[in-house]
Amino acid sequence: MLVGIDHGHAGEGLLDELEALTDTAGIVTLATLVQKRARPDPATFVGKGKVEEILAACDELGADAVIFNDELRASQTRNLEDALGRKVIDRTQLILDIFAQRAASKEAKLQVELAQLRYRLPRLRGWGQALTQTGGGIGTRGPGETQLEIDRNKITRRIHALERRLRQVAEERSTRRKLRSHGDLPQVALVGYTNSGKSTLLNRLTSADSFVEDKLFATLDTMVRRGPLPEGREALFIDTVGFIRDLPHHLVPAFAATLEAVRYADLVVHIVDIARPTWNEDYRSVLDTLEREVFRGGDVRPPVLSALNKIDLCPEGAERDLPGVRISARDDVHIQELLAAIADILYPADREVEVLVPYATLGRFASLRDPHRVRSLEYTDEGARVRVLLSPAELADVEASGGRVSASASSPVEEPRSHRP
């Protein structure tokens, strides 16, 4: 049974996301219940009357558990479990559970365990519940130390061990990053709300086979693949863990690899599922999370380009007041436009120029013979007249070798893109 509080303006669909999460966790929803109230009851989250109602409904339907659409306080969980006589789960715990089921890499597993323990620690039951089992082994506990304190100590020790191990993993990652040579490919991080189509897009842009599923948090590990850009260039595309509204704070460490991929990316492509009724809030919550959890005060932020995905599901003309490239990752719509926009941001300095170069110089520069970048080539008495896409550095080299600019486009080659953020 799913339960939520409507603080006033949520309306229908309040529990849709919770139901999707529940489904993802492999739990069947029997019924949902929403209570309108300004603020949660400090003792039982919903009001006393509602608790009775939930109990009656659970008995009738044979529900095993009640799942709440917010994070509950330890005391609320306790009171509710006592009153309802069944397992009480909150949204954070549900998400943690999904993460635990789906974590595949060593690092993801460590992170999820850490998040679970951090969540559990303040929720251990049993203060005053019997000063149990004295004398369980000399030196293991002092006189009067309770079982609870021992559990607490055990968990705390495990938390410290996990934190140490994860710090090592993070260091290894940062060493690997430093070892990458200077001329490496630009990195494009694909971020977005969970289920927005990040993995589908990665598969579309590279020939990866990232796991795609119509469930939340299908991806829990970052995946990096090389993929082509226009003009024969390439980039590394990074698939990441999806964000979710009110990301439980316990889970933030579990996003470490994703957050880092974003922090060090040359470009962030923010994938928005514009077919979802809540697309606008989804969009904002991702940006908020990035701002709160990813970027440090002095960081230089990578540029962010929005990719408005699933346009195949949007009726013609349905306006989404968001700047960005409208795509369908699934149906391969406007993917070239997206790539052009990406290249435009990663290589802002490229200009189409016409240069007149001596034939000897033509042989010296690969860029002047690159079929992806050469627009036209004409042989004249004075040398080759090449209309070509060059970065300022390349142009300077060509000029230093005797090339002369005979015409220059004053603006970037691609039309200035209105969707640039």
Ligand X SMILES: Nc1nc2c(ncn2[C@@H]2O[C@H](COP(=O)(O)OP(=O)(O)OP(=O)(O)O)[C@@H](O)[C@H]2O)c(=O)[nH]1
> Measured from the CB atom, is 34 or 274 closer to ligand X?
274
**Binding window for Mg ion (CB under 5 A); candidates: 157-165, 199-207, 331-339, 377-385:** 199-207
Considering only residues 167-196, where is the footprint of ligand X by CB under 6 A? 192, 194-196
Q: How far is the CB of 239 from ligand X (least distance, A)?
A: 7
What is the spatial distance between Cα 22 and Cα 98, in angstroms, rounded to a whole number?
9
Q: How many residues bind ligand X (CB under 6 A)?
A: 24
Q: How far is the CB of 220 from ligand X (least distance, A)?
A: 8
Strands 87-90 and 65-68: what pairing? parallel
> Measured from the CB atom, is 69 or 196 closer to Mg ion?
196
Q: Which of 84, 82, 74 is nearest to 33 (CA)?
A: 84
The answer to the question of residue 199 lying near ligand X (CB under 6 A) is yes
The answer to the question of residue 222 lying near Mg ion (CB under 5 A) is no
> Measured from the CB atom, is 119 or 217 closer to ligand X?
217
Considering only residues 362-421, where is the footprint of ligand X by CB under 6 A? none
Q: Are 35 and 47 in contact (CB under 8 A)?
A: yes
> Measured from the CB atom, is 202 or 362 closer to ligand X?
202
Tell the burial category of 141 from Cβ atoms under 10 Å away from its Cβ (0-12, 13-18, 19+). Answer: middle
Q: How far is the CB of 317 from ligand X (least distance, A)?
A: 18
Q: Collect contacts of 228-231 with beta carbons under 8 A, ≥24 apart.
A: 228/339, 229/339, 229/342, 229/343, 229/346, 230/336, 230/339, 230/340, 230/343, 230/372, 231/343, 231/347, 231/350, 231/370, 231/372, 231/373, 231/389
Identified binder of ligand X from the candidate list 310, 326, 334, 351, rule CB under 6 A: 310
What Rg value do the Cα atoms of the chain yield, rounded?
A: 28
What is the spatial distance between Cα 284 and Cα 282, in angstroms, rounded to a whole number?
5
> Measured from the CB atom, is 102 or 326 closer to Mg ion?
102
The answer to the question of residue 99 lying near ligand X (CB under 6 A) is no
Residue 195 touches which of ligand X, Mg ion, none (CB < 5 to 8 A by kind)? ligand X
Q: Which of 85, 115, 105, 251 is nearest to 169 (CA)?
A: 105
Say how many C-beta atoms besides its own lie within 10 A of residue 13's C-beta. 11
Identified binder of ligand X from the candidate list 51, 96, 110, 329, rule CB under 6 A: 329
Give the footprint of ligand X on this chain (CB under 6 A).
Answer: 192, 194-200, 212-214, 216-219, 242, 309-310, 312-313, 328-331
